Structure 1
């Protein structure tokens, strides 16, 4: 790996962890930023990607792996309502470990392809009609981009589900909103109060 590739991988890891670890508000800008960066990276790094032999098939394998890993990353991020009923996300050590494994694995593969595993990877590439290092690089870029996109989409779906469930509540006599999971208990309490009041009448 070149120094530029090392810096890109390290920068990606720092950006992902710094922008997601801990409890943070979920805003449209925060969800859109990774997608915008992914599109920019796709234009820069995939414009000259090889498309002969089984290079495209390798890209599809990378995309499938990225989608699966992105869904896992999205599920490791807790989505809930914070103060003022604002949507917030919370990511902890499991989220960080996943990204360390993914980016670290990509770096380890690149280093081994130029070292102890070079012969094995070369033989595999020849036998499966993969043109070379550029094809592998493109596949890993596709995996990274689809992982980011799938993570964002998973988070958006979870936000929509949470918003829908919270929005189907009722309103009390005092005008206070009661979420759907509490509305039934509230109605029961009102009925019991009414019965008790009726029982005290002369």
Structure 2
């Protein structure tokens, strides 16, 4: 992983936490913007997805794990209607999930370059994974699937969230 990729991951983490922690009004932009970013990231990072050997299986596993993590993130965010607007509330558990996932992805990348590159090469050879590009595609698909699924879960919950009356303080 290059320095710019580490910075990109840290920037993504910062953006996710900044834009979602606390109580936030759910707007169209908060739904559309992450989906637009995912579309751009897919176009940039998934140009040549390896498909030989078991690469596709690895990439599908990455996408499925990402979708599961996205469901978890979506469920860790409360959604409700208050005073005619839809709000989301995300706290420490939501932040912890994102820190663990993005930090874990960065740690794996660092370890793959410095600590256990030989073990990954042996695992890849034994399981017919063609190399680093397949691993990269799997992790990118995991990240993208997590974001898309989190947005979809949040949007679905917003559509089904019961309206609550706001008490009037005199």
Q: TM-score, normalised by structure 1?
A: 0.79
Structure 1: tracts of 5 or more residues without a match: 168-177, 179-202
Structure 2: tracts of 5 or more residues without a match: 166-170
User: Equivalent residue for 1:95?
Assistant: 94
User: Equivalent residue for 1:142?
Assistant: 141
Q: How does 1:105-116 map to 2 (within 5 A)?
A: 105-116=104-115
Number of aligned residues: 165
The Cα shift of 1:85 comes to 2.2
The Cα shift of 1:53 comes to 1.2
User: Equivalent residue for 1:7?
Assistant: 7
Does the Cα contact within 8 Å between 2:66 and 2:141 map onto a contact in 1? Answer: yes
Aligned-residue RMSD, C-alpha:
1.4
User: Equivalent residue for 1:68?
Assistant: 68
The Cα shift of 1:166 comes to 4.0
Matched, 1:119 2:118: yes
Q: TM-score, normalised by structure 2?
A: 0.93
User: Equivalent residue for 2:46?
Assistant: 46
Structure with larger RCO (C-alpha < 8 A, sep 6+): 2
For residues 146 and 132 of structure 1, the distance between their equivalents in structure 2, rounded to whole angstroms, comes to 22
For residues 120 and 3 of structure 1, the distance between their equivalents in structure 2, rounded to whole angstroms, comes to 23
